[in-house]
Amino acid sequence: MPRRGFTVKKAWDNPLEHEMPGAVRVPAEVCIGSVLVRPATVLAPMAGVTDTVFRRFIRHASLFTTDQGSGNRNQGTDVETGVPQVSLLTGVPGDGSSSLGWLRPGIEADVTNQQSGCGLLMTEFTSADGLSRMRESKRRRYLTFYDDEHPIGAQLFGSNPETLAEAARIVQDTGFDTVDLNLGCPAKRGVGCNGGSGLLRDLPRIGEIFHAVRKAVTIPFTVKFRLGWNDAQIVCVELARMAEAEGLNAVSLHARTREQAYTGQARWEWIAAIKQAVNIPVIGNGDIRTPEDAAAMVAQTGCDAVMIGRAAPANPWIFRQIAQYTATGSYEQPTVMDRYRMIRAYFQMMLDEQEACKDLPRDARMGETAGKMKQFASWFTHGVPGGARLRASIYQAKTGAAVLEQVDAFFTTQLSGASETDHTVEDIPPLDFSSAAMACD
């Protein structure tokens, strides 16, 4: 049995090691209704994680471009796939010597899904009941996004068809590209009100929700769900067929039951079963930690796209690595200098966002960033030599600015007198995802 509270596990259970499966790659694109997702990769909704800052952070960390002109690495076209090879954008302050580089927030360039290794961003899951009741100013806190986040989908949870339909209309009017229904979250707070994976025990109610939301909006409507409540109640194939019949534009399956939470292996064979059962796009989710895993899922299931959750805070470059792997058959690992630039860039984005919203109404403001910076520091700094010392100093900091000072001081000492190539992180170990707020992957 999973742990009480269904918190996200620290690590995957005996993770399988996959090799690149021949000529199979993550698809270059997938159409979800009228929305083109290119490449076919999706950032999974994660409560307490996929806010505006993190989404933009992932989008910029994932930027790449097809090579044009001479002098770029990985020029040409992959012989097996015919996909143009890619060059990773650097844009790093300083000498830009890092292999992975870093794209500064606020870069003056158009950002589209054709340039980004992450094809579709998703919001944190949002209560339809709360959304329909809250003031307009507070909605901004949950539904704000920037132009460079397109295409972007908003995920809703709830159990009342009329309320979910009204919330979907709000999502559409706000300008989101897609709306998604959460039937996968195993957390008790959602299941207790018959939301999230709790609805998997009530297919007739799900059918009513599908019908009401589909009738309410014209933007693409998708659903994310699990195999079923437990092994005795596997309903994923029937649910996918129901979704297609009601006019939904795609389905996403996290290939575990609610009872499993995040334990055991994700059972990819059920993703394959759904792919055989429906004609709309099928997005696979569960146990994708590396580009090899992503390609292996496509090879084993035939899914049209892959969704990545827990691995993204651990390795924000994973989408870009998948894009690079798709084009070249290999990808680069981050160095300690890459980690430093990544941590600093993300923390500075958080501080900038806090400053930008300080004059908004109180319920629309971003609070003090120190707590969230500490949360992310525990993920970002695993794999960094001496990372435990950095985490200890960060946890003692009282403000976001003080956290950033500790980061700068640590890496200044860590990297002094040594080249960054001396500190390559060859293997990024599993991170601590014990927060119940992460229970929506």
Catalytic residue set: 185
95 HSE (CA, 13 A, CB side): 6
CB 321 within 8 A of CB 99: no
Strands 86-88 and 64-66: antiparallel
Assigned token pair, 270: 């059920």
Q: Which tokens sit at 208? A: 């009513």
Q: Which residues pair with 335 in a beta bridge?
A: 424
Ramachandran quadrant class, 27 (left: phi over 0; alpha: psi -120 to 50; beta: rest): beta
| Interior angle at CA 121, CA 27 and CA 323, nearest 5 | 35
**DSSP β-bridge partners for residue 424:** 335
Number of neighbouring beta carbons within 10 Å of residue 294 = 29
Instruction: State how far the Cα of 311 lies from the Cα of 263, in Å rounded to an integer.
Output: 15
For every residue of 179-221, DSSP letters joined together read: EEEEE----HHHHTTT-GGGGGG-HHHHHHHHHHHHHH--S-E
Q: How many CB atoms lie within 10 A of CB 1?
A: 7
Residue 136, burial from CB neighbour count under 10 angstroms (0-12, 13-18, 19+): exposed
Q: Which of 319, 432, 321 is nearest to 377 (CA)?
A: 432
CA distance 214 to 246: 7
DSSP for residue 438? G
338 token code pair: 């890459």
d(CA 213, CA 205): 12
Rounded Cα distance between 441 and 434, Å, is 12
Alpha helices, DSSP H, located in 329-399: 336-356, 370-380, 387-396
Sorted by sequence, the CB contacts under 8 Å of residue 304 that are 6+ apart come out as 27, 30, 40, 250, 275, 281, 282, 283
Structure tokens at 337: 């200098």
